[in-house]
Amino acid sequence: MRIEPQKLLEECFAAMVRAVDPKTLVQQALRRQGSFLYLRGEPVIDLAQFSRVWLAGLGKASMAMVKAAQAILADRVHGGLVVSPVPAELAPPLQGVVGSHPLPDQRSLNAGEQLFALISSLQREDLLLFFLSGGGSSLAVLPVEGITLAEKQAAMQVLLHSPLSITQVNAVRKRLSRLKGGGLARAAFPATVWNFVLSDVVGDDLGTVASGPFQPARESADELHSLLRNEGLLDLLPDAVNRVLLRPFPFEESAEEFSWVHNVLLGGNLMALRAGKDFFKRAGVPCLILSAQMEGEVQVLADSHAQIVREALRSGHPISPPCALLSGGESFLQVHGSGRGGRNQEFALYFAQAMEGCPGRWRLLSAGTDGIDGPTDAAGAIIDEFTLVRASTLGLSSQAFLADNDSYSFFQRVGGLLRTGPTGTNVADVRLILLQNEGVT
């Protein structure tokens, strides 16, 4: 068997992204027949019971999902709104509005106000089909009373550059927002809501995707205060934000209490990993999925992956080369330098360091399924056992680039940036590792 490793990894990544294409997922899940809307083969919504049907979406993949739903519902769509990171190309009666990501701006505030106004106007005879995906936390914002947009921006700047995981960051966001932590669910009452979710978070927790606009917040004020204090973040946040975080949350609900809201998970990271495994099977390469829930600090996560690879190369456990290993989830990093990069590029560089000196042939691709890794034009990076050798011949120190969070510049000079452009989907990060032997080129 002779395989060109980089092409194999790139084609596998493309297959994984296709498997979680938002338009396809909606088309597979929903079908209209007469007055009934079928969900995965079961008639769940009788459209005849509603005078008006609305479509709305929020997130990086929302536009594609809403357009697919509009094609299915056709003349039954009364109106709606989509908030996305790029201008929406939507047919009437739908409207699109652009928000900002990863930090909210005035566009995000305008989007949040419009979205909240639309959903607050719904009546008992209305049906809302909402399509939610990652990125929504920043794309639409509506701060609670007592916080300005500037104070919300300052808080997000601190949190997104801290060692907090995205789940922890979004827990704070819920307390600062009228949209998140169930805010849109409350606004929609008494209308009937079906919330379709493409998950970009570890474990597919619906309360974390876009900070859970249709899920009640679970974290108490005391828990958040302790978390921020232990991480040394309280003194870095605006005073107004701290005052809001310290006061009791005005709503105490369980998901069961949102009886007018029905949540449906359309897809997530594990779906992409399974597609990757199927791809390698067709290519004749044995493949093992490690986990779809691997998260943690980027260097620690890279080291743990390297330990697994070293063991596989040395002993054939848990799988023998030639083979592939897949994992998914999301790492997080604390930004302490002034360089450019993203968590996948840093993961790849830390992995290269952890594998230095290990005998064996390997290649790794680490990328965001949305095609965007941090504030760069790369989805991630592809490296092999010679990456640091090439850097050394150029007189480059990988450690120096990591110290400045400048992994992008490192790969610009050494080679290895993976550029796909925005993919239109978002199910967090994936890592593909190909282990080779004499039979693989």
Report the CATH number at residue 210: 3.40.50.10180
Q: Choose one of 225, 241, 267: the last residue of a domain.
A: 267
pLDDT value at position 2? 59
Which CATH number do you get for residue 307?
3.40.1480.10
- In-domain check, residue 310: yes
Shared domain check, 257 and 133: yes
Nearest CA-CA partner of 348 in 288, 306, 390, 394? 306
Shared domain check, 401 and 345: yes
Shared domain check, 256 and 207: yes
Q: Which domain holds residue 259?
A: 22-142+177-216+251-267
- In-domain check, residue 324: yes
- In-domain check, residue 240: no
- In-domain check, residue 409: yes
Shared domain check, 92 and 193: yes
Shared domain check, 257 and 313: no
Shared domain check, 278 and 211: no
Shared domain check, 402 and 262: no
**Residue whose tokens read 């390297």:** 306
- In-domain check, residue 243: no
Q: Is omega for the bond preceding 213 within 30 degrees of 0, making it cis?
A: no
Instruction: Count the neighbouring beta carbons within 10 Å of the beta carbon of residue 57.
Output: 30
- In-domain check, residue 61: yes
Shared domain check, 307 and 258: no
- In-domain check, residue 298: yes
Length of the chain, in residues:
441
Shared domain check, 205 and 88: yes
Nearest CA-CA partner of 88 in 114, 122, 124? 114
pLDDT value at position 206? 94
Shared domain check, 314 and 206: no
| pLDDT string in tens for the chain (441-residue length) | 456 899 999 999 999 999 999 999 999 999 999 999 999 999 999 999 999 999 999 999 999 999 999 999 999 999 999 999 998 789 999 999 999 998 999 999 999 999 999 999 999 999 999 999 999 999 999 999 999 999 999 999 999 988 888 899 999 999 999 999 999 999 999 999 999 999 999 999 999 999 999 999 888 888 898 999 999 999 999 999 999 998 877 777 777 789 999 999 999 999 999 999 999 999 999 999 999 999 999 999 999 999 999 999 999 999 999 999 999 999 988 888 999 999 999 999 999 999 999 999 999 999 999 999 999 999 999 999 999 999 999 999 999 999 999 999 999 999 999 999 999 999 999 999 999 864 333
The three-state secondary structure class of 156 is: helix
Shared domain check, 120 and 66: yes
pLDDT value at position 409? 98
What is the Cα Rg of the chain in Å? Answer: 23
Shared domain check, 315 and 259: no
Considering its fold, how many domains does the chain have in total? 2
- In-domain check, residue 394: yes
